[in-house]
């Protein structure tokens, strides 16, 4: 097999990275934009010892699950990888991704139900992060997502995955940045002013917080001028902030954020609780799907416990802790980001909640010092999952049930394997579709210690 070779194959399955998998003479080939049961002619684009990559030359017989993407930019934008597949079948594919990870990585043959679908499959993404650049000759500002496997920006004027007001705000910035003498960022040479535009949109009151991420370390008139223009031209904008990031890094936000106009927060509502969300604090991008997750955890606690002591670890703005506080004797919330802890306290006051105890610091360090036993522990770590030390401490502190909330099936499977080897029972694993039309999938595992 060599570059440029062509084959006619049938796609067998979908991988955990959203690629179609086919075989020829038992040699694995990964095909982009391919759906299971597609019969396709492919061309080899890369060859390794154990597999090859390929692209579709012709769809000979389309899969019954293949549909026309609803976004006109699908073929060039890398954000919604599965949009060419019927949504109900996307859920089946994600179910299989979770099942495969658990079996291959965790050695766990669990019965995985279909993901709970997202209540909205368009206009659902309520946090927008657009990289910014500019054309070489005309200096036109470009804003959008990257083409697949590149850092080349697709200039997106309309994205059906996000609220329409976000398109309007981004377009306004495109048109007015140059008038304020603001240039787009050049990643190769680490020059230019505007690196990213981040928008947090509230499904609760339709307000928007706009964050201009600049390649700078200080406030300048050109930045404040653009911030004021945005604030004055959009009644839907609750505030405009500057975030300073002049490091050579792929990390979007820098450590310092300054509010230029309005407020540096927006409010979001989950179940019957209102949350205060900041410019650089974590909150789920799909509030309606997040609501399904919080309700799932809260209902289980309500059915199985009588006012337990709950530990909310990796708490962020303590969304889980605040949501389940009605059913708890007390919630102890631990989060290392001090700004998140401060916003969590504001949210607790806003909701008249008095049975939450907040701690700022590393979860692992907190676990090592805590002496109380918790009937319920909620773990919601980042994509890298939990360290073995953190899991060990959680086992020592938990007297009954751990909820493990994960956005990465691979690290979930790894950590569940560890817990199972320590004698825990994996009661259930329920996927939730948080990231529609992508291969990403959220899971809630219920574990008895």
Residue 197's closest CA among 186, 212, 179?
212
What number of other Cβ atoms are within 10 A of residue 355's Cβ? Answer: 15
Query: In sequence order, what are the residues at sequence separation of 6 or more whose Cβ sits closer than 8 angstroms to the Cβ of residue 90?
Result: 82, 433, 436, 437
Answer yes or no: is pLDDT of 280 > 90.
Answer: no
The SS3 of residue 273 is: strand
Tokens encoding 447: 């574990």
Secondary structure element (H or E) that encloses residue 233, with its range: helix 221-233
**pTM for the structure as a whole:** 0.94
Average pLDDT over residues 206-229: 97
Please write the tens of the pLDDT for every residue from 137-162. 889 999 999 988 888 999 999 999 99
Q: Of all residues in the chain, what percent carry a pLDDT higher than 90?
A: 93
> Which domains does the chain possess?
6-66 (2.40.50.140), 92-119+286-448 (3.40.50.150), 127-270 (2.40.50.1070)
Q: Over the chain, what is the mean pLDDT? A: 95
pLDDT at 252 over 90: yes
Question: Mean pLDDT across the stretch 26-34?
Answer: 95
pLDDT at res. 119: 97
Please answer whether residues 436 and 121 qualify as being in contact, where contact means their C-beta atoms are separated by less than 8 angstroms: yes
Report which DSSP code applies to 107.
-
Give the helix/strand (H/E) hosting 409: helix 409-421
| Lowest mean pLDDT, pick from 101-115, 202-216, 249-263, 356-370 | 356-370
DSSP 11-58: --EE-TTS-EEEEETTEEEEETT--TT-EEEEEEEEE-SSEEEEEEEE
pLDDT per residue as tens digits for the range 378-399: 999 999 999 999 999 999 999 9
Model confidence at 288: pLDDT above 90: yes
* 120 neighbors 187 (Cβ within 8 angstroms): no
Q: What is the pLDDT of residues 315-366, one digit of tens each?
A: 999 999 999 999 999 999 999 999 999 999 999 999 999 999 999 988 888 8
Selecting among 77, 407, 424, 436, the annotated active-site residue is 407
Helix (H, G, I), strand (E, B), or coil: what is residue 21? Answer: strand
Verify whether residue 191 is a known catalytic residue: no
CA pair distance 37, 5, nearest whole angstrom: 21
Strands 442-448, 194-201: pairing kind: unpaired
Average pLDDT over residues 90-101: 97
What's the whole-number mean pLDDT along residues 42-70? 96
Q: What is the pLDDT of residue 1?
A: 86
Closest CA to 419 of 406, 407, 404, 409: 404
Q: What is the C-alpha to C-alpha distance for residues 246 and 281, in angstroms, rounded to an integer? A: 20
Closest CA to 130 of 179, 171, 176, 191: 171
Under DSSP, the state recorded for 182 is P
Separation CA 343–CA 349 (nearest Å): 10
pLDDT at 247: 96
What CA–CA distance (Å, rounded) separates 161 from 300?
A: 31
């Amino acid at each position: 097999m060599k570059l440029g070779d062509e084959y006619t194959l049938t796609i067998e399955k979908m991988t955990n990275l959203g690629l179609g998998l086919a075989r020829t003479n038992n040699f694995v080939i990964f095909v982009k934009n391919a759906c299971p049961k597609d019969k396709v002619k492919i061309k080899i684009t890369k060859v390794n010892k154990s597999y090859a990559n390929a692209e579709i030359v012709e769809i000979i017989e389309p899969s019954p699950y293949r549909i026309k993407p609803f976004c006109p930019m699908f073929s060039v934008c890398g954000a919604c990888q599965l949009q060419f597949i019927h949504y109900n079948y996307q859920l089946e594919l994600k179910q299989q991704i979770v099942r495969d990870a658990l079996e291959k990585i965790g050695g766990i043959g669990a019965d995985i139900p279909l993901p709970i679908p997202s209540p909205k499959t368009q206009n659902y993404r309520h946090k927008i992060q657009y990289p910014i650049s500019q054309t070489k000759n005309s200096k036109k500002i470009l804003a959008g997502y990257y083409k697949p496997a590149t850092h080349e920006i697709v200039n997106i004027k309309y994205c059906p995955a996000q609220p329409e007001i976000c398109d309007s705000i981004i377009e306004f910035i495109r048109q007015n940045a140059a008038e304020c003498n603001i240039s787009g960022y050049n990643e190769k040479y680490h020059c230019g002013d505007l690196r990213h535009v981040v928008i947090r949109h509230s499904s609760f009151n339709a307000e928007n917080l706009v964050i201009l991420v600049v390649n700078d370390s200080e406030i300048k008139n050109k930045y404040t001028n653009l911030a004021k223009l945005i604030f004055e031209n959009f009644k839907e904008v609750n505030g405009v902030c500057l975030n300073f990031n002049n490091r050579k890094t792929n990390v979007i936000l820098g450590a310092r954020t300054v509010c230029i106009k309005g407020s540096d927060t927006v409010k979001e509502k989950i179940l019957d609780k209102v949350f205060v969300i900041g410019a650089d604090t974590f909150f789920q991008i799909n509030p309606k799907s997040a609501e399904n997750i919080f309700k799932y955890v809260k209902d289980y606690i309500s059915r199985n416990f009588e006012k337990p002591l709950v530990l909310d670890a990796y708490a962020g703005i303590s969304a889980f802790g605040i949501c389940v506080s009605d059913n708890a004797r007390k919630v102890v919330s631990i989060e290392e980001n001090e700004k998140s802890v401060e916003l969590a306290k504001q949210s607790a006051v806003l909701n008249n909640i008095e049975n939450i105890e907040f701690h700022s610091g590393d979860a692992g360090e907190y676990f090592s010092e805590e002496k109380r036993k918790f009937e319920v522990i909620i773990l919601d770590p980042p994509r890298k999952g939990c360290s073995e030390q953190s899991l060990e401490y959680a086992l020592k502190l938990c007297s009954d049930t751990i909820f493990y909330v994960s956005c990465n099936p691979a690290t979930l499977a790894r950590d569940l394997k560890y817990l199972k080897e320590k004698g825990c029972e994996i009661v259930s694993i329920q996927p939730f579709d948080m990231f529609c039309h992508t291969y990403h999938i959220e899971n809630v595992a219920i574990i008895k210690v």
